[in-house]
Structure 1
């Protein structure tokens, strides 16, 4: 059985076409020998070839969200994470900021040499791959209409999801200014095969409309299952596409649609919340995600089953002489009640730390969510309950909001809410505790117009960030603006 993320070397050469915003000049594409372009046409002219292309696109997406920059961004910036001491060398026992995130961590990223340049480029590379698939799929001579629609649906949601992630990083949250004038991102719906264009950034309103349009178009095309080989939870389908749509509506502050869509997933997905008695053990199991996962991008493996990379590369603990960079801050750990079973998801280990020139064993808490080569957990059912709760709160349905929060708290054996007082604070607290290390906190704070306050383990001169601030978003890499003068830079960069 083929690895559903494994693509041939030939395909990698064919498909790595950078869009207008990529690291190299896009004129490179036009200068390719005709044979390269012919290979693309040949690759995408059969069902087998286009499925290989779709397979590779999932692989590119997985690699992009698994990359250290994005994988830790929301929790690191929001205050859920701190750093471990260096294991060996001259700086043994010292705690330092990872060099590849130093500027971002300090809210001082630079447009000229952004820490997130790779994420920006690879996101648009994924988008270009989906556009190529969408441009060729209807002409397939050996695929049925149902198969073509399924391929189209998955490509559309990948395109929407990639644009959505870019929006989180590069556009201020709704409410910062008028969304009709606020900058969104460039929404790319055509591949480079049609030639080079120099688009402007859409408004935030238009950006969200285009994301929603792509997801809804996908929902009109999904069939029962993916045509790709691999775990079903690793591919987009009608259920997790709706879950993504609920998240997008929440980000857009479209409370009515957020409520209705989350409610639909909760009632009709066929997936249930993992019960209390299985919650810890399911997070601890190897190679299989927690059962309530609606979408997890599985890790790449070679033909022998060897792992090509996972989030344990950043969060893993193997021994006190072999561990990785990121652990839970006390800012997060102190939020859990003593009865809360989620406290059991932290692996406390004493590590030698240099303090005032002396090595001292200091306890650090690694997350059990991300040990043993985990995949990237993109969407869980728990999040849908919290989306429905937030939408209900904004719609004035306080009892429903309270009940949904209590559903998550009851499963964790935390104290239940007895009144509807301070529900916004309770909701943000529950999202932080339940969804920690899954890429939400910083975006939640921005979305709710809240300031950042990092205390335990903060090494930056800027441990706090008051809302509103231009530093809630990152700069468009300068090289891309140099290439396309129609791109407008974010404020303060």
Structure 2
């Protein structure tokens, strides 16, 4: 009980500003009542708890850089050249003990899940808060919890499905097959989409597209249904999001550099600023880009990725930075152009990490249509993305499945693991990675190992095949 009480205090502190912390100190909890109960007896403090849960995502290394960084290295999109520190990801030779960064991927995502669980529990059957607010906040927490599980199962496969904060239950939960978690996610999202509003809410300086709305729930549903093979519903929900032209539109070719700006018309869901509300740069930008005083670049896009761009692709110009440092030409991801606050100010750009964006909905629908034998419709969606990039329509003789995978590779390179997840989901990982890394690739490396530390604390956690 002490752990649960302490967590709620931490959630509230994360969601409140400094001036509000004094108000928290002034709360005198009754001797027979936990601080968590006090928090969820007020709409304001309940919203602060939800803001704190969002903050657990925003400030997490897993979400703000490692989903992109580690999965991009695993998929052969980017290399770390500063030292050999990431060789295990760049060669797909990760180990449950030696690859200590696995523990962060695992624990930080579960920490966020715990916080969203706590909000859902605190709001359940809560008559002290207006019903409309309870419904909205609960729906947001459920969507974000499902988003967390999406990444977990695509990195680790079967994982424990935790929907409670009771450590007496969670500490010994076994792994649940990914197929079952997809089913659970779909059910959760189907209900959550009707709990959240069409418009973006405002909550403790988390506003606009940094908070879940109905389209975000539907966009994630479209992705979940695609990954689980329900192509009819994947197409349906992608279509519903695309149809929300009052909120969303693809930016034209000339504005590709602005796709990742705060509140861009293509953004369906973004993360709030990780440092402060005035922060205009992202952790990805500060990680991947060389600074104005750099002599070397620590990260380089691979020749394998660069060779995949077609001549004349505007994304190559807008989203790839060429660096010439100490006489060496290298290339870095340039979707986020700010590497610190000074560059954000000088470039007059406010950038935010992107969780869901409109272009994906076109590619989800293209694949769903292709799987449903609607080749014409699939071509139409592919051509929307290609024309936006300044390219010709997909060739009439093209293999549509390969064309879809190719567009995903270019559109979503170094973006939250999309390439890594896609080649595995589409059954291409062994062929692609075997050719790319013939000396180190093993099929079992499609799933990361369950961190040994997690297995040490939970005897019911089994290990993925191929690992010790």
> In the aligned structure 1, how far is the partner of 2:38 from the partner of 2:108?
24
Given candidates 76, 86, 94, the residue that maps to 1:109 is 94
**Is the Cα contact below 8 Å between 1:276 and 1:411 reproduced in 2?**
yes
- Corresponding position of 2:136: 150
- Corresponding position of 2:420: 442
- Corresponding position of 2:72: 75
Q: Rate the CA distance shift 1:199–1:37 in 2: closer, same or farther, 3 A.
A: farther
**Is the Cα contact below 8 Å between 1:340 and 1:413 reproduced in 2?**
yes
The more displaced of 427-436 and 412-421 is: 412-421
- Corresponding position of 1:46: 42
Q: Rate the CA distance shift 1:60–1:437 in 2: closer, same or farther, 3 A.
A: same
Given candidates 292, 295, 310, the residue that maps to 1:319 is 292
- Corresponding position of 1:384: 361
Q: How many positions carry a matched residue from both structures?
A: 428
Q: Rate the CA distance shift 1:159–1:72 in 2: closer, same or farther, 3 A.
A: same
SS at match of 2:364: helix
Q: CA deviation at 1:416?
A: 1.5
- Corresponding position of 1:486: 460
> In the aligned structure 2, how far is the partner of 1:308 from the partner of 1:56?
21
> In the aligned structure 2, how far is the partner of 1:260 from the partner of 1:410?
23
| Residues 386-433 of structure 1: CA deviation (Å, up to 9, x unaligned) | 111111111111111111111111111112223153111111111111
- Corresponding position of 2:270: 296
Aligned pair 1:349/2:346, yes or no? no
> In the aligned structure 2, how far is the partner of 1:293 from the partner of 1:47?
28
| Residues 172-228 of structure 1: CA deviation (Å, up to 9, x unaligned) | xxxxxxxxxxxx221111112775552221122211111111111211211244241
> In the aligned structure 2, how far is the partner of 1:70 from the partner of 1:434?
17
SS at match of 1:277: helix
Q: How does 1:29-428 map to 2 (within 5 A)?
A: 38-64=34-60, 65-84=62-81, 86=82, 96-97=83-84, 99=85, 101-114=86-99, 115-171=101-157, 184-192=158-166, 198-223=172-197, 224-228=199-203, 229-268=205-244, 270=246, 271-280=248-257, 282-283=258-259, 288=262, 290-302=264-276, 305-306=278-279, 310-319=283-292, 321=294, 325-345=298-318, 346-352=320-326, 361-372=327-338, 374-428=351-405
| Residues 14-68 of structure 1: CA deviation (Å, up to 9, x unaligned) | 789xxxxxxxxxxxxxxxxx99992333233321222111111111112334444
Structure number with higher relative contact order (C-alpha < 8 Å, ≥ 6 residues apart): 1
Q: Rate the CA distance shift 1:486–1:463 in 2: closer, same or farther, 3 A.
A: same
Q: CA deviation at 1:444?
A: 0.8
The more displaced of 36-45 and 205-214 is: 36-45
Q: CA deviation at 1:324?
A: 5.3
> In the aligned structure 1, how far is the partner of 2:169 from the partner of 2:419?
39
Q: Rate the CA distance shift 1:61–1:385 in 2: closer, same or farther, 3 A.
A: same
**Is the Cα contact below 8 Å between 1:79 and 1:455 reproduced in 2?**
no
Aligned pair 1:451/2:429, yes or no? yes
> In the aligned structure 1, how far is the partner of 2:296 from the partner of 2:221?
37
Q: CA deviation at 1:382?
A: 0.6
> In the aligned structure 1, how far is the partner of 2:212 from the partner of 2:91?
35
SS at match of 1:431: helix
> In the aligned structure 2, how far is the partner of 1:362 from the partner of 1:107?
27
> What is the Cα-based RMSD across aligned positions, in Å?
3.0
Structure 2 unmatched ranges of 5 or more: 1-6, 15-29, 340-350
SS at match of 1:311: helix
SS at match of 1:369: coil
SS at match of 1:210: helix
**Is the Cα contact below 8 Å between 1:311 and 1:375 reproduced in 2?**
no
Q: Rate the CA distance shift 1:477–1:145 in 2: closer, same or farther, 3 A.
A: same
TM-score, normalized by length of structure 1?
0.79
**Is the Cα contact below 8 Å between 1:402 and 1:420 reproduced in 2?**
no
> In the aligned structure 1, how far is the partner of 2:228 from the partner of 2:94?
26
TM-score, normalized by length of structure 2?
0.83
